[in-house]
Structure 1
Amino acid sequence: MFVEFLAAAGVLGVLTVVPGPDMAVVTKRAVAWGWRDGLRTVGGIACGLLVWGALTVLGLAAVLAASATAYTVVKLAGAAYLLFLGVQSLLQSRRHRAAAPVVAGGAATKGNPWRTGLVSNVFNPKIAVFYTGLLPTLAPSGMSPHAGMALLVLLHAVLTLLWLGGYVMVLAKARAFFERPAVRTAMDRVTGVVLLGFGVRVAASQP
């Protein structure tokens, strides 16, 4: 069982580090509003994974993955949210001034970073497909299916916290660089385009 768990951890680790919408959202928040905001966004994303995990254990995620209508509703909502964030980032790059919006200690934020992370993750239907399609095959055979999947969901959330949290701290180390007006404007534009791209990709995705 331990070997199976290590193999599952390896698969989840690879899936965690692959860049996706979550990393784009974290980049946008951390660069624009500071590392505290970025970490709160990561916390929201991890909570989104726990929501999907609970739905998977209850069997509701399987219904979503099997229902074309439900899948379409969720994916369009998620795509619309990513497009909104992308447009917001592009508009922010146009409004950018020499004074950075991050204040000492990261006290000032725009919107709720935890909610941003949660919503962007919960409205990603690909997670439902992954959790219902692949996760059961990774669950250790020595445990009940529900317990095994619950354990792997917790592991995935922890790996996400560690990976994206570490990524946020790397961005924080380069804070002086990212606070330069030209760099901030460029990052806003890049993350905006990336978020728009992910929004279109999610909208065009199939179960």
Structure 2
Amino acid sequence: MTFHLWSMFFIAAFLVSATPGPNMLHILSRSVELGLRGSFPAMFGCLCGLLTLLAASAVGLTALLMALPGAFDVLRYAGTAYLFYLGIKAWRAPVEPSDHHEEMIVAVLSPWKVWRVAYAVAVSNPKAMLFAAAFLPQFINPAAPKPPQFAILLATFGAIDVIWYFTYALGGRGLATHLEKPSMKRLFNRFTGGVFVGFGAILLKSKPA
């Protein structure tokens, strides 16, 4: 892989990762709830989920999904259901006026549970796998060994996503200062819940290319 090809991939991946999606919204909301440090397991969970999808596309799982009738639809419906669940959960989330609300949430949610939910968010969209299958090969030199090239692309994409995770998490901490009033927090919860449901509706209408 030439530096020119890698730099083109870096620019494209940077712009793609900047686009708000379920992962970024989830990290933003976790940062509001748990603080910047408390959102670290969510960042790691989303990163693991993303790398799972990218690695799966690299080894040809996407081709298998396309070959098996109904396989994509099964994953699509499962991902939609999970996003709907997250949306309803966020919409109905209780609003606590206490100054210790953040500490109370941290005490209830273990880092493992935060990671697990974030991982599920990241892998619940099979459309991302299909996107990766169409996106990554454009930057692969067919005349050179493919595994090292895929490894470089996956590492680059993951590093870029981490940058944007921190950006959204820091934005969440800035937003948290404006959500001290229960009415504003309730509005934020319902907005994020509605967006998750919207992502689910988009996924439900998506079709493999």
Same fold (TM over 0.5): yes
Partner of 2:115: 114
Partner of 1:33: 34
SS where residue 96 of structure 2 aligns?
coil
The range that moved more, 2-11 or 146-155, is 146-155
Deviations 1:62-115 (A, max 9, x none): 2124445111111111111110010001111xx3131253018x7424462111
| Residue 130 of structure 1, CA deviation | 1.4
Determine the C-alpha separation between the residues in 1 that align with 2:183 and 2:173: 17
| Residue 185 of structure 1, CA deviation | 1.0
Given that residues 23 and 164 in structure 1 are in contact (C-alpha distance below 8 angstroms), is that contact kept between their aligned partners in structure 2? yes
1:102 aligns with 2:102: yes
Deviations 1:5-35 (A, max 9, x none): 0001111111100111112222222222322
Amino acid at match of 1:103: E
Deviations 1:144-189 (A, max 9, x none): 2232122111211111111112220232244322333222111101
Partner of 1:148: 149
Structure 1: gaps spanning 5 or more residues: none
| Residue 142 of structure 1, CA deviation | 6.8
Amino acid at match of 1:205: S
SS where residue 102 of structure 1 aligns?
helix
Amino acid at match of 1:97: E
SS where residue 108 of structure 1 aligns?
helix
Determine the C-alpha separation between the residues in 2 that align with 1:51 and 1:44: 11
Change (3 A) 1:65 1:113: farther
1:81 aligns with 2:103: no
Given that residues 31 and 170 in structure 2 are in contact (C-alpha distance below 8 angstroms), is that contact kept between their aligned partners in structure 1? no
| Residue 141 of structure 1, CA deviation | 5.9
The range that moved more, 195-204 or 66-75, is 66-75
Determine the C-alpha separation between the residues in 1 that align with 2:27 and 2:34: 10
Given that residues 23 and 118 in structure 2 are in contact (C-alpha distance below 8 angstroms), is that contact kept between their aligned partners in structure 1? yes
Partner of 1:48: 49
Give identity over the alignment, percent: 26
Determine the C-alpha separation between the residues in 1 that align with 2:30 and 2:193: 11
Amino acid at match of 1:10: I
Q: What TM-score, normalized by structure 2, do the two folds share? A: 0.88
Change (3 A) 1:50 1:202: same
Number of equivalences: 204
Determine the C-alpha separation between the residues in 2 that align with 1:158 and 1:58: 21
Determine the C-alpha separation between the residues in 2 that align with 1:170 and 1:5: 29
Change (3 A) 1:143 1:182: farther
Given that residues 51 and 122 in structure 1 are in contact (C-alpha distance below 8 angstroms), is that contact kept between their aligned partners in structure 2? yes
Given that residues 29 and 172 in structure 2 are in contact (C-alpha distance below 8 angstroms), is that contact kept between their aligned partners in structure 1? no
Q: What TM-score, normalized by structure 1, do the two folds share? A: 0.89
Amino acid at match of 1:42: M
Determine the C-alpha separation between the residues in 2 that align with 1:159 and 1:150: 14
SS where residue 51 of structure 2 aligns?
helix
Given that residues 65 and 71 in structure 2 are in contact (C-alpha distance below 8 angstroms), is that contact kept between their aligned partners in structure 1? yes
